[in-house]
Structure 1
Amino acid sequence: MTLSDGTGTAAGLPAQSPPVEPAQTGAAKSPRIGWGGENSENTIRNLVLVGVLVVLIAIGAFTQPQLYSDSTWVWNNILSILQLASVIGVVTVGMTFVIIGGGIDLSVGAIVALAGVWATTVATQSYGAGGMIFTAIVVAVAVGLINGVLISYGKLVPFIATLAMLVAARGLAAEISDKQTQISDSAFINGIAAGKLLGIPLLVYILAVVATIGWVLLNRTTFGRRTIAVGGNVEAARLAGINVKRHTMLLYGLSGLCCGIAAIMLTSQGTSAQAAMANLYELDAIAAAIIGGTLLSGGRGTIVGSMLGVIIFATITNLFAINGLSTEAQNMVKGGIIIAAVLVQQFRFKAVTRFLHRNKT
């Protein structure tokens, strides 16, 4: 046994030999993710996204100067954009965790629809607003956990498992609602979308709360560090003592929870629910996460970036609406932005990272 001489130098070793640090595991080496954290690349990317928002606003001011000259209209338009982004923003928080963890969830839109339809059945509404909210959350979390079990323990590819759930959940929602629109009779639920606090819609507050909790969970908890570790290197995470299967299942359960909250928000907006609601939300959520810098291969992403991605898409939608442009043109622009974002992920930031590493050495 080697004893220390009390000066930090191990006895029996040369005086100039420093103590050997233990090797870090894959989980310990995971980068810290956040706006102002150690990873300056994330900060630069978020600043670029803010710059994109500024450019979009400038385009709006140039094309519709008579509108942007009215400060009241500008403020109301900002609130409209944030309210438009609120529901898909909540879904995107859950999607960001799943993608960072190395997975994908194509069923989020169908889960929102199923939870909304189940919560607005006559039987459920008889229990009041509390019963409706509880049902939406439980149904969405249960479906999310089923996805997680199929992927973790059934060893299905996430793409296949969640694609199958997309079809099944939409079918079950159509069966429950008999393909009819179900009207919400709850004044409390219906009032969420119409309500305001200090002039700001309640839906925006809900998004802010969910995004804040998501940021804390990802950046300040063991759960977040494990998510990054699992997405970055599954085998290293397993060797570090992380129960990868259980953690993956919980990630899909978290995605389901966000879908349940979004279902109540969307039901409130339309005072109704139907099997076709939240159509293509999975694509919007994935696109927003990618725009925000989340790697499709897992291991990296930020809640702040994802929220900026959601707001950018909402701003584009608003910009096209006030200029009377078609939805088809809007979708083409969105598709181009997604392709550009993926190309930037694959080439630009990798090149910058290599350049920085070379300079440090």
Structure 2
Amino acid sequence: MTQHVSPPRGGTGKAAAVDGPPARRVPLGRADLRTLSLLGVLAALILIGGITRPDEFLDTRNLQLVLTQASVIGVVTVGMTFVIVSGGIDLSVGAIVALASVWATTVATQEYGFGGILFTAVAVGVGCGLVNGVLVAYGAMVPFIATLAMFASARGLALQITDGKTQIVTVESVLDLGERDAYVLGIPPLVLVFAVVTLAGWLLLNRTTFGRRTVAVGGNAEAARLAGIDVRRQRLYLYLLSGLCCGIAAFLLIVLSGSGQNTNGNLYELDAIAAAIIGGTLLSGGRGTIVGSVLGVLIFTTITNIFALNNLQSDVQQIAKGAIIVAAVLVQRRTASTT
């Protein structure tokens, strides 16, 4: 007679430390439905833009502009998605972008050329992310408070560096990236960078142990700790990742604007959080999708473009964005209650 032996209920501490507890995954049908819904909203906006301003909105240059503008906040949103999935929040991303952009465009930095500007922007972003991560993970500070403090400090330091003035970029190799001659098959370089960051973020969240641990920490931090995951180290890595994305976004913004200003990145934190939320990422953590976040960015950027082309006031635009955020949260709550 063949004897059936049941597998052990729990693995060894070593195995658990590698893979972590099972991640809470969204059922495939529901995830597909959410993505299709976002695509439907985006298609409806494109239709509205095409009807109201067909010549301007559907012009190739305008579509390239929309994608280029979405690239900067999109890179920030990718990093923000990871933080929110882990159950955290980062209110300092806009201020970090501002600080990185002005630090990378000082006269001293520009003397080192393209490499110096890029390295400085990324280094400042990662450095700020390190401070946030240490405060949250090892200082036991609430993410809201820690990143709010970074928000104030980074904005203040950016203002001190610039003395309220705009720092013009004079490095031709940086400025050339924003010219049409640098486009690859009609695609701006900034959009290509955004695509690479998006793909890397998707692979990291969905195809690696790091992604599974991120979801596990956001779903139940204590259970993740008991399973062998170093929760504090994981949170540190996540804020480092967010800072890295801010540094990359700062460099893209330098290319786009040709300058560094202490007002750069204004309200980026709200736009990134909103894009992640309407994309299906839970503010409570444990669930999120890079594809949804990117679609959220494209939806908001398209709304801004349509309003600008139709000469509508910005306050109406903000009301429309707020209504979309409320609707997205209500849909999330309804979906959660039926799970």
Give the TM-score band, short-chain normalised. over 0.9
CA distance in 2 between counterparts of 1:61 and 1:49 reads: 18
Q: What amino acid maps onto 2:336 in structure 1? A: K
Say if 2:283 is the partner of 1:296.
yes
Structure 2 alignment gaps of length 5 or more:
none
Q: State the partner residue of 1:152.
A: 137
Q: State the partner residue of 1:123.
A: 108
CA distance in 1 between counterparts of 2:89 and 2:293 reads: 15
List aligned pairs for 1:137-148, cutoff 5 A: 137-148=122-133
Q: State the partner residue of 1:350.
A: 336
List aligned pairs for 1:272-351, cutoff 5 A: 272-347=259-334, 349-351=335-337
CA distance in 2 between counterparts of 1:8 and 1:122 reads: 76
TM-superposed CA distance for 1:21, in Å, is 5.1
TM-superposed CA distance for 1:62, in Å, is 2.9
Query: Which shifted more, 51-60 or 299-308?
Result: 51-60
Q: Deviations for 1:223-278, whole angstroms, at most 9, x for unmatched residues?
A: 10000000000001101111000110110000000000000110111111011111
Q: State the partner residue of 1:261.
A: 248
Instruction: State the superposition RMSD in angstroms.
Output: 1.7
CA distance in 1 between counterparts of 2:331 and 2:217 reads: 24
TM-superposed CA distance for 1:59, in Å, is 1.8
Give % identity: 59
Q: Deviations for 1:309-339, whole angstroms, at most 9, x for unmatched residues?
A: 0000011011111211111110110011111
TM-score, normalised via structure 1 length: 0.88
Q: Deviations for 1:269-309, whole angstroms, at most 9, x for unmatched residues?
A: 11110111110100000000001000000010000000000
Q: What amino acid maps onto 1:9 in structure 2? A: H
> Is the contact made by 2:78 and 2:290 (CA closer than 8 Å) also made in structure 1?
yes
> Which of 15, 39, 44 in structure 1 is aligned with 2:33?
44
Say if 2:13 is the partner of 1:9.
no
CA distance in 2 between counterparts of 1:193 and 1:161 reads: 35
> Is the contact made by 2:22 and 2:212 (CA closer than 8 Å) also made in structure 1?
no
> Is the contact made by 2:130 and 2:240 (CA closer than 8 Å) also made in structure 1?
yes
> Which of 75, 87, 97 in structure 2 is aligned with 1:102?
87
Structure 1 alignment gaps of length 5 or more:
11-18, 354-361
Q: State the partner residue of 1:28.
A: 21
Instruction: State the SS of the aligned residue for 2:170.
Output: coil
> Is the contact made by 1:144 and 1:256 (CA closer than 8 Å) also made in structure 2?
yes
Q: Deviations for 1:14-43, whole angstroms, at most 9, x for unmatched residues?
A: xxxxx255258794321346xxxx532221
TM-score, normalised via structure 2 length: 0.93
CA distance in 2 between counterparts of 1:9 and 1:336 reads: 57
CA distance in 2 between counterparts of 1:76 and 1:141 reads: 33
Q: State the partner residue of 2:48.
A: 59
Give the structure with higher Rg (CA).
Answer: 1
Q: Deviations for 1:79-128, whole angstroms, at most 9, x for unmatched residues?
A: 22111201000000000000001100000000001111111111111111
Q: State the partner residue of 1:78.
A: 63
CA 1:180 to 1:295, structure 2 compared with 1: closer, same or farther past 3 Å? same
> Is the contact made by 1:45 and 1:293 (CA closer than 8 Å) also made in structure 2?
yes
The higher-RCO structure (CA 8 Å, 6+ apart) is 2
CA distance in 2 between counterparts of 1:60 and 1:77 reads: 11
CA distance in 1 between counterparts of 2:117 and 2:51 reads: 45
CA distance in 2 between counterparts of 1:77 and 1:197 reads: 17
Q: What amino acid maps onto 1:229 in structure 2? A: A
> Is the contact made by 1:27 and 1:228 (CA closer than 8 Å) also made in structure 2?
no
Q: State the partner residue of 2:226.
A: 239
> Which of 115, 120, 125 in structure 2 is aligned with 1:135?
120
Q: Deviations for 1:145-179, whole angstroms, at most 9, x for unmatched residues?
A: 10010011111110111011000001011111222
